Amino acid sequence: MTNEKHDPNRDPITGAPGAHPVGTGVGAAAGGLTGAAVGSAAGPVGTAVGAVVGAVAGGLGGKAVGEAVNPTAEDAYWRDNYKNEPYYNTQYSYDDYSPAYRTGYEARSRYADRKFDEVENDLRSDYERARGKSQLAWDDAKDATRAAWHRVERAIPGDADRDGR
């Protein structure tokens, strides 16, 4: 995944490689909130400083998660491997599984500090909105979403959601 040749995700304004606005934005928002909460013990100034420091740190963390996810590479991986998964059902094609995988690998960066089980209801909603013509109901799609989620998690240094993976 991280060693595969992939799109450099160029910033649309500067052209610099490694632009991951969703991962960076989500990380910045989460970090800012956490920093503000921690800084509030020192009063209003501490809240402001904590929010800024937390946003910068969170943004960098979100970018790292974004770097770990290359949608083109993920799609190619799952297209080549979905039939080898234990939940694979021969009555469904890759087109049926694809929205479930996409839900998992895209959501991993949005919920970087949380466990799959903690956000399953959100993932179900995300999948239902994005499933298109897939024949998979959530109960059939959930394992594929979880597999994509954990594949991304294994590519991220450390154990972001502290589940031992």
- Per-residue pLDDT band at 103 (split at 50, 70, 90): very high
DSSP structure class, residue 156: S
**Other Cβ atoms closer than 10 A to 159:** 11
Q: What is the dihedral of CA 128, 134, 139, 142, to 10 degrees?
A: -80
The model's pLDDT over 36-48, given as tens digits with 9 standing for 90+, comes to: 555 566 666 666 6
Q: CB neighbours of 15 closer than 8 A, spacing ≥ 6?
A: none
Question: Is the entire prediction scored with pTM above 0.75?
Answer: no
Composition of the chain by helix, strand, coil, percent to 5: 65, 0, 35
Compute the average pLDDT of residues 23-38.
Answer: 55
Compute the average pLDDT of residues 102-118.
Answer: 90
Closest CA to 77 of 103, 62, 98, 63: 98
DSSP structure class, residue 40: G
Structure confidence at residue 2 (pLDDT): 44
Tokens of 122: 């959100």
Structure confidence at residue 84 (pLDDT): 97
- Per-residue pLDDT band at 19 (split at 50, 70, 90): low
Flag the least confident range among 47-56, 98-107, 133-142, 149-158. 47-56
